[in-house]
Structure 1
Amino acid sequence: MTDPEPCRVIAYVGPSTADSAADRYWTRIFDSVRRCIDIDASRTSRGFAALRTALSTADTPVTLVLDGTRLDEDVAEGIGTLLADEPTLRIVVATRTTSSAGAGMPSDTRILTSADLAFTVDETTAYLRDAGVPQERWVVERIVHRTGGLPAVIGRLPTALSSAPIPGATELEHLDRIVDAVIDSVTARTIKNEPLLAHLLRPVLMSAMTDSLTCASLAESGVDAPTFVTTLESLGLVESVPGSPARAYPDAVRRSLLRRAVADLPAEPTRTYLVVPGAVDRGSDSAALLGQVVALRKEGRFAEAASICDDLASRAVSSSGTPETTVVSDAAFCFQAGLTYFFAVRPHEAMGMLRRARSAGAGTPVGEDAAAVLGLMHALRGEGPEARAALSTDRSPRRHHRNNARLAHTAEQIAAALLAIDRLESDVALDILVDIEASTAPNELWALTLYAQGSLALLTHTPMDGLRRIKAEIRKHPELHAGYNAVLVNAIRADLELALGDFDRARNLVADSTHLFTAPVHARMRLLTGDPAGSEALVHHYGTDPNCTPRQAMELAVLGAAAACALGRDTEARPHLDRAIALSQQTGLLRPFTMVSPLMARHLGSLGVDLPTAAEPTALDTATYPKSKPVVRLTPRERAVLDGLIAGRSARTIAKVEFVSVNTVKTQLRSLYRKLGVNSGKDAVIAARHLMLD
């Protein structure tokens, strides 16, 4: 790399600390200059006056690079004096603190703001390409929009993108999760590494709930407000507001802090609220925006609705007026935001918001509605005890004219149906779902209704009926087939196609999805199409993901056991099965034991492990996946023996037809039984009829 200033001496001075006095700062600058140019070693003065003399006597032009400078009036005045003294002197100042001191700078001073330093789309494109992770234009545009072009975040993206590539334009939510994770990591590390903030996480998170940050807004926080604000500014966490002494968090940083606040801070209905949507008397347009959120969500435009919720969440207001009104308003926003985040594939934020809604709206209809939807989400995740606890909360009689009454009632019905399906109680689930139609259910629950109906179709071995219903609904409401709706619907459609033996259609439905919800489908498809090693690899990859829900973890554990058995490694299958049993005991889930082919279920039952349900007969009775491509390869001799058994021949007759001894046929039979996981010729014939043998 060529020297950008080949005819100049560059003296670098690192960031100044929060308590650095101006005289000590000039001493540091003088020491840096002295190391670069010849200065009389006997000189004892090392302050500002000595620096002026040294620069005036230097033989080579000097460039001072002052990084992380606290630009107070004394420092700004000194910089102006140095520039006036020496026309050849250049000073590059990097500072995050702003003040009126800049007015004293020379007229040709150029000040670069955070907007100037932010990465543009073209700059981000070039940077990612040079870092070895080139991205399509739409991906880069989304990244810059999501991050605001913050250099600290862009700089860490190559590592994240290299380990989690973006599969396609339909995966906006997947890209947002990657970017948000990087922003969260940078923000958390910045706060943790600053001693002045390490023990003030709560005030930091609370301060992100305001439009702007001033000493007055921090008056009740218990912190040293001037030092707190200055520290945040020096770290680049907040920036100045034009025309105001206030500071504000960049949007990306604020969203990150709010995500952490939702997860870490309990609801505090007596102090501060994220937003009061109905407070029109305060001159707020929040009510109209919240109505827009609901409208967008019903149209399936979940990402847009979530973006508005992010904006609303940043408009914190302090509680005033009647506490009851404020609590209900806060609960209403959190309830709507929770629903929106769920369908925008932001499950952790969704659960956090709904918990806040339930807490803030305790004893009110909104709180009851939040409890109902929380119960449904727990049921979807396979968290039976939590779902039942949420649904058993005492409720006052619902007023049917309320807009959300039907939504909450339907949510409770779907949750109850899912719990029954997970316990293999098909009759109970059928009685519940017979009164629910996706077309008449609230739009927010359209996909969840289809998911429950499809799950029941799998359990009652009527996959064709389930597929017809789902396809008809997608034709009626294509706009709703987006976001998490698409993830749910495509996952259950793929499982229904697998049950019908149409592996290609199943593969096409989930080919582009990397969402954890589809991980068991991918693993099951590999297993059913004769690739147990590929299935096992997926189980190992997804099974250790900390974001795995109990349902996904248990399904993957069962599939891992089945894959190990198919590979002839029964010893390795038992730990997988032990994990599945433990999860079943914790959650009450039984259905994952039936989500394999009958032959695989029979093999699992032969491992000598006490299952919480009779998995083998249950799977054989329901025949969820009656067809599969071979997971074993038969030799020509074994295939001939199997054909003989299917034709009803005895071992002696097979030996005569194949011109071999009876003992040879018996040896081939033992090998055939082992590969098929059976113990008799009759069972071998049954197993063969469930396989699509080459």
Structure 2
Amino acid sequence: MAESSRPARDTGPNQASVGTAPSLPPWLVPRPRLTGRLVRGVLGPLTVIVGPVGAGKTALALEWAHTRRLPGPLAWVSCDGRAEQSSVFWPRVIGALREAGVDVAEPVTSEAEPLLVAALAADLNRRGEPVVLVLDDFQPTPGSPIAEGVSSLLRHLPGVLRLVVLARRDPPLHLHRGRLTSEVTELRTGDLAFDDRETAALLAQHGIDVPKQTVTTLRRRTDGWAAGLRLAAMSMEKRSDPERFVTQFAGDDEAVASYLVEEVLDQQPDGMRRLLLTTSVLDRVNAELAVELSGEDAGRHFASLVRENSFLQPVGQGWYRCHQMFADVLRMCLRHEKPGLVAQLHRRAAAWLGEHGLLADAVRHLLAAGDWGTAGRLIVDRLAIGQVLGLTRLRLPNELTRRLPEQLPAEHPEPALLAAAVARVRDDDQACMRYLVLSDRLLAELTADEDRMARCRLARAVIRMDQLRSRSPQEARAAAADAESALSRLPHAVLAQRPEILALTLAIRGSGELRTGGLKPAEASLTGGLKAAGAAGNGALRRDCLIELALLEALRGRFRAADELAAQATQPPLPAWTVAERSQACLHLVRAWVELARAEPGRARHELTGAKAVLGGLPDDFLAEIASLVAGLATVVEQGGSAPAPIAEVVAASRLPRTVLRALVPACVSLLDSARHRSPAAAPQHTAARPALTVVSAPAAPAERLSARERDVLNRLAQMMTTEEIAEELYLSVNTVKTHLKSVYRKLAVTRRSAAVRRARELQLL
């Protein structure tokens, strides 16, 4: 080819001409956070901007082009998308380069495309300086002559060609190879999404001034989609209450729906269109679930859908999420075109999701299908009633508890149990009992399926435990016994997946054992409940177990350990109380014991006042007796009395279980003796610090000092970690941890974990 006589323009790296780039539109929203990335990106061979229609790809590239921060002259080519033909494309490229001042030969013919590409590469190589080529709406099919020709240019002009591609899908330019060598810069849908500042700037162009919260709401509703924001702004111009409009704005807005249907949905082939519509009921989709909903034929299009539709964004592990507003449009079209199919699709999705362990998603689809009966069966069968009641870190969909069903299936107990749990969450005790009575009647008719009966009885017991735990400890203990009976009929492996049930049962059982004087069993149950509550992510149960353990230690006279446990129970992230609960009274009593151990009867009486205020609304005979005992001890301390005579008088009036009193007497004797020595007459007046805590029969230090590693193991033992968890955290083998534990037990003169932790607290080793 003959070389052109047009001279090349001499432009420096920061003063390059914008060449054939279109002029800047007046409505453009400045986005320096992204143009800066493009400035850096064009220092390499390939920059790709991929996003759906209306994402602002072209506007961003224009803003960047007009910054004049280019490595060389810029040639801008507006392509015809999928309709692009080689006979048109290459003349356009060469014409744009020549217009930008790049000295390349005119094409004689485009029929011998490889020769044309080779000649163009030779011309650019002779130039030796960078040239920026922008291909807007570049959508050739993989393996097409255009795709292969552009790939060839990139391959043969690594130091000269700086290619910028704007497309709705990944261009077929061997991006994976470029990623491996860090030679490709990518801006995708998530990058192109407007942030709050840019959204506010766009609204300001339309004269709209709304609060920051409204801006954020609009940006979230549109997923930051530029076209959606612009359409919303145009509609808001005509509204007297733009803030209210934002709360209602969605993909079913007429302007948005028309735009997306015309620009995206109507452009799809039949199979792809069916796939988009049927999977629109999902919040996220993968290939297997797409086939389940759409059938094998439509499902075959899934790979192409992921590759070609930038409205679908990866969320990890083969799952994809559809752009919110596009999903709204698809669901609207599905309702209009196939109204009878919607509920069926939700049920099919729920069945697949339930089989694959995605319970919350399955329940959400059953609720969307209006199938409360199947939702109840699924939740009770999976022992997930605790997730409805909020006993776990993970919750089932909020839609579940927003309203009770108007009518329940009459033949199965599970929907009635689910309704009872929802009523419990809504604090509707009458409805809760009504549904429980209904479930009992339906459950009596189940005789053949023992496993199903056990699951239903367990669900009922969990609801009752949660309902009665704060109101009626005695009835709660009866419900806990029912739960243990049902649990004994179920596989242990199933229960291990539901620690919230174990946590609630053990917490209630431990509290009951403490009230009947079984201190050792109570310690074992509460410690187990504490660990299970941690596994379930139930802060309230964990807090209450810690407080009950603190009371247990106080009754034994181990006031330092009681103080530490009480402090743990009130430290974030454990929750504070929102309403009065018995555990609050329990905490006040522990603190009262601790203040008496510090010889602070005034502070102890203050805590007793708090305990009595709670017990006034939530009577508890056991805690009331402890409060009376502590009040009597406070009186003795104030009067300067000493043991044992005053103790005998105080204890004689108590109706606490004998086993509790046996533990209390030596603790009280030591406490009063310590308080007498710390009385104001004996203590220096200038001492401001609070007295140290009394510990009954303070143990001697271990004969052998613990090693640093043994202390590490002991600290984790106190956190209720298993041997395996300690090994993992300390990067040790399980056998090594067991060896350290044996050494710790020997040095502390104990034989089990709980005793080691208790003795370590007494020795202040933790």
TM-score by length of structure 1 reads: 0.45
TM-score by length of structure 2 reads: 0.42
